[in-house]
């Protein structure tokens, strides 16, 4: 048991479009919870309940106001979370550590520029998408816009890319009937994705609107996934199915995604909400 398990932990519960988090302020150098405590806190019946736990820490980068790290509800580390990044940004603004309208965060996937918009939403530079299979990582003979794997006798076609974390995107005609809880874990467990993968299911409504559900690594289906929304829009733009800007309707809310050019970073805009403060007593 680490030191975090034996002390009281002040936390803040937040969500971004329904994707919910516990935020811990560890800027004074306290260690983060270990995997066992993260799982205990993440339990929705006997703990606080969350999709991911996020720690806010001091950054060694002089251009960043803070560093954050992410753990899934099963205790495994995560590389990126767009909805979580917006919540971190909102938390730091409320704390006075970050000053609008623009600042930079140090994330597990690199520096992220944040813009605080007049309507209270947050716009984030999510970086450039990565398509090279080895960097996703995804085992494939060559880079392609679409891949296919046989899963239980069914040919499943999908796009694969990284937004700082690995994503697969499956286009469907009817999102409500999509086999999210069958194909999501089945694709995650494939050896072609050595680090697992977040699996998105997208239904196109118009050239600038889609619906999306995401089955995330270490969390299962969530109400929203920011990096998943970015990955879905990017994948569908590459297929010629969307324009350069799209609104993504997730079960928990709306995100706006903008990918202005193939060599440009993806920009995500969405809300961040405070839910409650609390103290975890071990």
C-alpha to C-alpha distances, 15 to 23, 233, 254, nearest whole angstrom: 10, 22, 13
Catalytic residues: 81, 225
* H helix count then E strand count, the chain: 4, 18
Q: How much is the average pLDDT of 66-72? A: 97
Q: Report whether pLDDT(7) > 80.
A: no
* pLDDT for the residue numbered 264: 97
Which residues lie across from 280 on neighbouring strands? 9
Q: Report whether pLDDT(3) > 80.
A: no
Q: Report whether pLDDT(282) > 90.
A: no
Element (H, E) at 92: helix 82-95
* pLDDT for the residue numbered 281: 86
pTM over 0.85: yes
Confidence of residue 69 (pLDDT cuts 50, 70, 90): very high
Q: Report whether pLDDT(57) > 80.
A: yes
226 annotated ligand binder:
yes
CA 129 from centroid of its chain's CA atoms: 14
Domains of the chain: 3-125 (3.10.310.10), 133-270 (3.10.310.10)
> Per mean pLDDT, which range of 7-11, 50-54, 252-256 is the poorest?
7-11
227 annotated ligand binder:
yes
18 annotated ligand binder:
no
Query: Rounded to an integer, what distance in angstroms lies between the CA atom of residue 254 and that of residue 121?
Result: 11
29 annotated ligand binder:
no
Which residue's entry shows tokens 């516990």?
Answer: 22
């Amino acid at each position: 048991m680490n030191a975090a398990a034996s002390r009281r932990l002040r936390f803040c519960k937040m969500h971004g479009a329904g994707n919910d988090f516990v935020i811990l302020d560890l800027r004074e150098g306290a260690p983060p919870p270990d995997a066992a405590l993260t799982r205990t806190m993440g339990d929705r019946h006997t703990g606080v309940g969350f999709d991911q736990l996020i720690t806010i820490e001091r950054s060694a980068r002089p251009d960043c106001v803070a560093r954050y790290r992410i753990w899934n509800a099963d205790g495994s580390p995560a590389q990126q979370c767009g909805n979580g990044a917006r919540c971190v940004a909102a938390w730091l603004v409320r704390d006075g550590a970050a000053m609008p309208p623009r600042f930079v965060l140090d994330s597990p996937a690199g520096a992220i520029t944040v813009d605080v918009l007049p309507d209270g939403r947050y716009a984030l530079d999510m970086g450039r998408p990565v398509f090279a299979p080895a960097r996703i990582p995804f085992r494939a003979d060559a880079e392609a816009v679409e891949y296919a794997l046989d899963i239980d006798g069914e040919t499943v076609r999908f796009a694969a890319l990284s937004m700082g974390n690995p994503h697969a995107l499956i286009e469907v005609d009817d999102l409500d009937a999509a086999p999210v809880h069958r194909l999501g874990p089945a694709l995650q467990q494939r050896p072609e994705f050595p680090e697992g993968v977040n699996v998105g299911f997208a239904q196109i409504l118009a050239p600038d609107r889609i619906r999306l559900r995401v089955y995330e690594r270490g969390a299962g289906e969530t109400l929203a996934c920011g990096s998943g929304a970015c990955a879905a829009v990017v994948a569908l733009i590459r297929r010629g199915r969307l324009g350069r800007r799209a609104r993504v309707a997730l079960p928990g809310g709306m995100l706006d995604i903008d990918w202005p050019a193939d060599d440009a970073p993806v920009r995500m805009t969405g809300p961040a909400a405070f839910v409650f403060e609390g103290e975890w007593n071990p």
